[in-house]
Amino acid sequence: MSFLHLDHVSYHYFYKKGYTKALENVSFTVPEGSFISLLGPSGCGKTTLLSIIAGILEPSEGTIQLEEKPLEASKLDIGYMLQQDYLFPWKTILENVLMGPKIQKMQKRAMKEKAIKLLEDIGLSKVIDSYPQSLSGGMRQRAALVRTLLTDPKLLLLDEPFSALDFQTKLKLEDLVSGLLKEFNKTSVLVTHDIGEAIAMSDKIFLMKANPGEIHEVFEVPIEIRNLTPFQARKHLKYQQLFDRVWEELNSLESQTVSR
């Protein structure tokens, strides 16, 4: 079943004296339980596209369907994970993950138990009652992930969630997040600048180009890599081969953008 479907989506930002074609004719389908990445040079419309899927921006043209219903009619919960963790410094980790209007409306005791279990699973059992400022960047991002997963969204939108972390922490978190998303059969869309991350985590990569923002090429990640953890995937020969192909294409797109 097509879980998420975009049909000829365009988005234009208007100013007093003109407009920018941030997205032009973007169409693709994401099956349930799969993980796709949006990769491309700066300004190709990745964040705009994610905001449209989240329902924050309305497309200038085209339609979006979730579970075969128009996005605006869908009751589906969408989770968002960003580069910044947005934890409140005056609340403990447990209080932070239980924040949010949706969680507040749910059964308090059951949610608290679920939150503690998830925090334990993700290796944060010792810091449940600590404040965010005493945690490392990776721990804070793990807490933010728990907050996102707690409402049990079927669709997860990840906007460069690992880009502010050091390399080692990022690799560990990629494995953790990928494992959890597979276990709970989530459908995910990741925005990233990192080719390796896109290959190691995704089923498919949509390489975008700028001016106007379009899908330039779609790369299928070989099944041999998809069955591995992201860390193991990075050591596979097929990972290297795909890395080289995507690198070459991205480089040529970036040089076209610079020479404009």
Q: Where does this chain bind ligand ATP (CB under 6 A)? A: 13, 20, 22, 40, 42-48, 213
CB of 67 to ligand ATP, least distance (A): 25
The backbone region for 33, taken as left when phi is positive above 0, alpha when psi lies in -120 to 50, beta otherwise, is left
Nearer Cβ to ligand ATP (82/233): 82
Closest approach of ligand ATP to the CB of residue 12, in Å: 9
CB-nearer residue toward ligand ATP: 85 or 159: 159
Smallest distance from ligand ATP to CB 194, Å: 11
User: Which candidate, 18, 13, 14, 21, places its Cα nearest to that of 209?
Assistant: 21
Q: How far is the CB of 191 from ligand ATP (least distance, A)?
A: 7
Q: Name which of 40 and 132 has its Cβ closer to ligand ATP.
A: 40
Of 42 and 133, the one with the shorter C-beta distance to ligand ATP is 42
Nearer to ligand ATP (CB atom), residue 25 or residue 130: 25
- What is the 3-class SS of the chain, one letter each residue? CEEEEEEEEEEEEEECCEEEEEEEEEEEEEECCCEEEEECCCCCCHHHHHHHHCCCCCCCEEEEEECCEEHHHCCCCEEEEECCCCCCCCCCHHHHHCCCHHHHHCCHHHHHHHHHHHHHHCCCHHHCCCCHHHCCHHHHHHHHHHHHHHCCCCEEEEECCCCCCCHHHHHHHHHHHHHHHHHCCCEEEEEECCHHHHHHHCCEEEEEECCCCEEEEEEECCHHHHCCCHHHHCCCHHHHHHHHHHHHHHHHHHHHHHCC
Q: What minimum distance in Å lies between the beta carbon of 73 and ligand ATP?
A: 25
Of the pair 16, 109, the CB lying nearest ligand ATP is at: 16
> What's the closest the beta carbon of residue 80 comes to ligand ATP, in angstroms?
15
For ligand ATP, the closer CB: 26 or 171: 26
**Which structure tokens are listed for 61?**
């043209």
Q: How far is the CB of 81 from ligand ATP (least distance, A)?
A: 15
